[in-house]
Every structure is written in structure tokens, then in C-alpha cells.
Amino acid sequence: MFSMEFEIVIVIILSAITCSIPGAFLVMRKNYYAADTANRSAMLGIAIALIFSSFLSSPLVIVLGSLTAILGMYLVKKIKGLTHFRAKGISIIVSSTLLCFGILIASNISLNNSAEFDLSIIYLGDTAFTSFNRLRIAGIDIGSYAFYSILIIMIINIIIVMVYYKEFKIDGVDKYYAASIEMKEETIDFILVIMTALSVSVSFQTAGIFMTSAFILGPAAAALFYTKRLSTLAIVSVFLSSIACLVGFSIAWPAEVSISGAIVSFIGILFILSVLFAPEEGIIKKYFDYLAEQKKLDEYIILDILNTQSIDTSSSALIERLAKSLNWKFLRVSYLVNKLKADKMLEEVNGYIYLTLEGKYEIDKFMKTQNCFH
């Protein structure tokens, strides 16, 4: 029907969107171990399902994969209740044990008698492979099998988000308020885990099982630096993931390297760039804000000294005396005094330095906001 490249791009973009919808809420709720646990423990279910079927996108794979992912989360909760350890450590133990069983079953039993694929397709992912399994109705080819399975899971995810949007929002922003209006936290947790498990077990065939956590967390974590509203967060993360898919595919397809690997690398670059250079929340902007604040504080110190202390303020001796008593460098003090003169906070009359009315007003206003001096 369409060309092969177009179908592959559509399948990747759909799976990225499917993953990034629960990701936005996971990042919001600080439920950070869910993604890692889900994708590592889904391996067991996928390996068991591949004994019985040779399709990577058959319903059995999706159902068993998400069941074992939910089983992993359930075990983490049970052991946490028993021992009162932190959930992150227990999730590593449970998920790596289930992963080991999964790899053992996959490499020794389920992939032994199939000549079509080997173990590497589960953890590397092969997007080009998905377009070979065609869905036929009455002999007519209507598209790849993976396309429809991913589409169904995406529609399920969107419906869940539409229905429970208010609960997600209240529980994500304020846990204590949610508890006070008798909202069950465990129910919301369970719904999110179901969404995550379904997305992982359907999109492992395109992304590879370990890289799905980048598909889930990456766009949402990058989008968190540009917006503060939950609805915009979800939309921006969907947008970012589709951009990453397009760019990654257009790099990887001509060079014949792994498509999902290129997409995930691009998501990583996007994330690092937005952590560093985001216009309002980025590290570099915050650092320069901090420096400007420090400089402002220095100016206020000099203004306060001139305001309250009765010292000899002849312009030749003042800078030296300030530098000596504050233990600052001479150049720094003279720079600050000149800057204050230029801002009309200080004025020089007959070789003596005085505060102007403006400067007095400024320092009074500043001191009133500092509650510790009152």
C-alpha cells in the first residue's frame, strides 16, 4: 500500500507516542522505578510467550509480558511492606532475577527451534523486521501486524488518560490533599503500572526491551524543563518524541545502523541539551542568576554600610577602607562603587561620597523584605 520507509516511520512514531503518554505521569509522580522494573520483568513473559507463538506482536506476547511486569511491581510492593527497605533496591533485585529467568528461557527453550530470529532481536529491537508480518483480511493486504497492535494499545492509553486525568493530576501534585479527599493512591499506581506494562510489552519489538525506558522517561523529562502544566507536559513530550523519531530515522536509515539506537541517542542529546540550556530552568541560566544575585547582594552591603555607619567617606580613602574591613579585593570594591555611581545610588559632592535619596529608598526597601533584621 505505502512504501516500506513510510510504514516503518509510522510504526516507530506510534510506539514512541504510546510510551511517552504514561511517561509524563510517571515523571510527575516521582514513580521512578516503574519503568525500569516493567521493562526488565516483561522479558520473562515475552520469553514464555515466544515458546507458543512465533509472532513478536501476537496478543499472547502482549498479555504475558504485561502480566509479568505487573507481577514484578507487585513483588516489589510486597517485599517492601515486609522489610521496609527502599523500593528502588528491591526493584533492582526482583527485576534482575526475572530478567535472568527470561534470558535463560529465551536462549534455551523458546528461540531454539525458530529460524526466524534470535535473542538479539528482543534486546536490540528491529524496526525493519516489523513490516514483514502482514495482516490480511480476505486475502487483501491492509498493513503490518505491528501497526495495528501498537495502535490499539495507544488508543487504550489515551482513553485511560482521558478518564483518569483529574485523579492523576491531583495525586501527582499534592499527595496529602489526595489522601485527605479519600482518593486511593494504590488504584492510581495500579492504573499507571498497567499503562506502562502494556506500552513496554508492545513497543519492545521496535525499540528493544532495555531502551523502552528511554522512550518512556526521556521525552517527558526533557519536556519538564519547558512547561509547568500537566496537560502541556503530555503534549510537549509527545511532540518531542515524534521529532526524535523522525531525526533518528533519517540519520539511521541511510547509514544502516540500528534505528532505535539512533533514536534513543537523539533523545539523550535532546535531554542533555535541555537540562543545560533550557531558557528558564536550565543549569546555566540558574548559575548566571545566582551570580547576578550575589553581585546585587554585594551592592546592598556597601549601601548599608554607607547608610548606617558614620565613617569618613572621602572618596580617596573610602574604597581602601571598605576593601580592608570587608576583606575584599580593591578592584572589586572600586568597580561596585563606580557601578552604584552610574546607577545614581551614590553621588560625589566636594570629594565626599553620599547616598542619594534613591539609594536610601532602595536600601530601606531591601532591609524591610529581610525579616531577620527586624
Beta-bridge partners for 170: none
Taking CB under 8 A as the criterion, the residue among 107, 227, 334, 356 binding another protein is: 107
Piece of the chain touching another protein by CB under 8 A; list 141-149, 158-166, 217-225, 323-331:
217-225
Taking CB under 8 A as the criterion, the residue among 208, 249, 340, 359 binding another protein is: 208
Q: In the bound complex, what is the minimum distance in angstroms from residue 55's beta carbon to another protein?
A: 23
Nearest to 36 by CA among 219, 173, 307, 217: 217
Taking CB under 8 A as the criterion, the residue among 13, 20, 22, 33 binding another protein is: 33
Size of the site for another protein (CB under 8 A): 61
Here's the x/- map for another protein, 244-273, by CB under 8 A: it reads as --------x--xxxx-xxxxxx-xx--xx-
Task: Name the residue type at position 128.
Answer: A
Q: Give residues with Cβ within 8 angstroms of 371, minimum separation 6.
A: none
CA gap 25, 265 in Å, rounded? 23
Q: Give residues with Cβ within 8 angstroms of 15, minimum separation 6.
A: 150, 202, 203, 206, 207, 215
Q: In the bound complex, what is the minimum distance in angstroms from residue 355's beta carbon to another protein?
A: 37
Find the binding residues for another protein in span 44-73 (CB under 8 A): none
Instruction: Give exposure, 249-267, as e/b (b: 16+ Cβ within 10 Å).
Output: beebbeeeebbbbbbbbbb
Residue pair 199/151 in contact by the 8 Å Cβ criterion: no
Report the residue count for the chain: 374
Give the residue carrying C-alpha cell 533518528. 248
By the rule CB under 8 A, 25 interacts with another protein: no
By the rule CB under 8 A, 82 interacts with another protein: yes
Q: Which residues bind another protein (CB under 8 A)?
A: 27, 30, 32-33, 35-36, 40, 79, 82-83, 85-86, 88-90, 92-93, 96-97, 99-101, 103-104, 107-108, 120, 123-124, 208, 210-214, 217-218, 221, 224-225, 252, 255-258, 260-265, 267-268, 271-272, 275-276, 281-283, 286
